[in-house]
A and B are shown apart, each in its own frame.
Chain A
């Protein structure tokens, strides 16, 4: 029962966090899909199925928060690089502010602000 509760909770937590992390991963630089996955999988517990990142990228592109450009690669065919659009930068700034507020609040509750 406890395991189920924890699984549900961590799944919900990851769902919201992944979009924030994807946008932050391409903040100020353009990366191709696999590079984004590599950067995110280093965060412990964040990415359970690596494939999850690709539908998120697709959705963010559809919403206009990220744009894509094709770049030639020395290792094979041209790769699709993702970068933040102006709208994406605004959204990311809003999301980061919101995350900071939540994190500060949680830190305070945990007594980490002292």
Chain B
């Protein structure tokens, strides 16, 4: 057994402790490896002057390398892999774990407090979760880190294992964005059309028998027409800038299929025409009954 200085002895024990800690729970025999390391050090320092100094030992340990470089990923238990990636990167994995951590931090208190309020605020709780004071900041941060992770990934293969970490916050963020993007003008048009109907109440009330029909047909007509025109505009923007939707909803929308958009727009155009025709027919019918 070689004779080490106190500092070297402490350094060696510290190194072996790291070796044991790192190999714990893995599939390799940690006692055998520790024995090999001791033999290796003794053989390397056989001709060194005793007691062996800290510097001489350190040179040998540096050549042996850090224990975490020794074994492949499949030899490391899953939970340790998570901690390792979080602690020492690479950077893109760290971002993915930070994304997930922020998402969980946001989710836990939200679930706890919102369960209590869920019944009382049934219709408002999703909005409170998303934009409630304080909690939304964590979700926004989580989303930003998720997008940074996406930007750092060179290809889809690099994203494979990270999907589970970054997708929850991306999905939760994209759903309201998608809904707003598709239906904000529709919602606004409902308000406007209801307002117009009510402000022309007297005119409409002339046609008493079809008041309800007329009211709702007008609202549906305005909504369908506005939605149709809005989607037409979105389709034009997409045609002019093909990467537009892909950039917003990365990585879920890679290629936008115009065929689907055309079908949806066809349905909306049809609905607009049907409503317009219904409106004309109702007016004509009421006018006929009233004045002819």
The residues of A with any CB-CB pair to B shorter than 8 Å are 15, 32-34, 37, 48-52, 54-55, 57-59, 61-62, 75-77, 79-80
Contact B70 A75 (CB under 8 A): no
The interface centre, meaning the residue of B1, B33, B36, B44 with most chain A CB atoms within 10 A of its CB, is B36
Q: How far is the CB of B97 from chain A (nearest CB, A)?
A: 20
Majority-rule SS of A interface residues: helix
Contact A58 B33 (CB under 8 A): yes
What are the interface flags for B67-90 relative to A under an 8 Å C-beta threshold, 1 for contact and 0 otherwise?
101111001000000000000000
Q: How far is the CB of A102 from chain B (nearest CB, A)?
A: 20
Query: Measured between alpha carbons, how far is A80 from B29 in the docked complex, in Å?
Result: 14
| Chain B, residue nearest A82 (CB) | B36
Also in contact, A55 and B66, with CB within 8 A (given A62-B28, A79-B39):
no
Contacts of B35 in A (CB 8 A): 80
Contact B37 A59 (CB under 8 A): no
| Chain B, residue nearest A35 (CB) | B43
| Chain A, residue nearest B32 (CB) | A58
Contact B65 A48 (CB under 8 A): yes
What are the interface flags for B30-42 relative to A under an 8 Å C-beta threshold, 1 for contact and 0 otherwise?
0011011101101
26 A/B residue pairs, CB under 8 Å, sorted by A: A32-B39, A33-B36, A34-B36, A34-B39, A34-B43, A48-B69, A49-B63, A49-B64, A49-B65, A49-B70, A50-B40, A50-B63, A51-B37, A51-B40, A51-B64, A51-B69, A52-B70, A54-B33, A55-B28, A55-B33, A58-B29, A58-B33, A59-B28, A62-B28, A76-B42, A80-B39
Contacts of A58 in B (CB 8 A): 28-29, 32-33
Contact A33 B39 (CB under 8 A): yes
Query: Measured between alpha carbons, how far is A71 from B211 in the docked complex, in Å?
Result: 104
Query: Measured between alpha carbons, how far is A58 from B72 in the docked complex, in Å?
Result: 13
CB < 8 Å neighbour of A55 from B40, B42, B43, B71: B71
The residues of B with any CB-CB pair to A shorter than 8 Å are 1, 23, 27-29, 32-33, 35-37, 39-40, 42-44, 46, 63-67, 69-72, 75
Majority-rule SS of B interface residues: helix
Query: Measured between alpha carbons, how far is A87 from B207 in the docked complex, in Å?
Result: 95
Contact B64 A50 (CB under 8 A): yes
Also in contact, A59 and B36, with CB within 8 A (given A15-B72, A52-B65):
no
Contact A75 B75 (CB under 8 A): no
Contact A34 B40 (CB under 8 A): yes
Apart from A49-B66, A50-B65, 16 more pairs, CB < 8 Å: A15-B72, A33-B40, A48-B69, A51-B40, A51-B64, A51-B65, A51-B69, A51-B70, A54-B32, A55-B23, A55-B75, A58-B29, A62-B28, A62-B29, A76-B1, A80-B32
Contacts of A37 in B (CB 8 A): 40
Contacts of B33 in A (CB 8 A): 54-55, 58
Query: Measured between alpha carbons, how far is A49 from B39 in the docked complex, in Å?
Result: 16
| Chain A, residue nearest B30 (CB) | A58
Query: Measured between alpha carbons, how far is A79 from B43 in the docked complex, in Å?
Result: 11
Q: How far is the CB of B211 from chain A (nearest CB, A)?
A: 70
Q: How far is the CB of A93 from chain B (nearest CB, A)?
A: 24
Also in contact, A54 and B75, with CB within 8 A (given A33-B36, A59-B28):
no
| Chain B, residue nearest A1 (CB) | B154
| Chain B, residue nearest A57 (CB) | B36
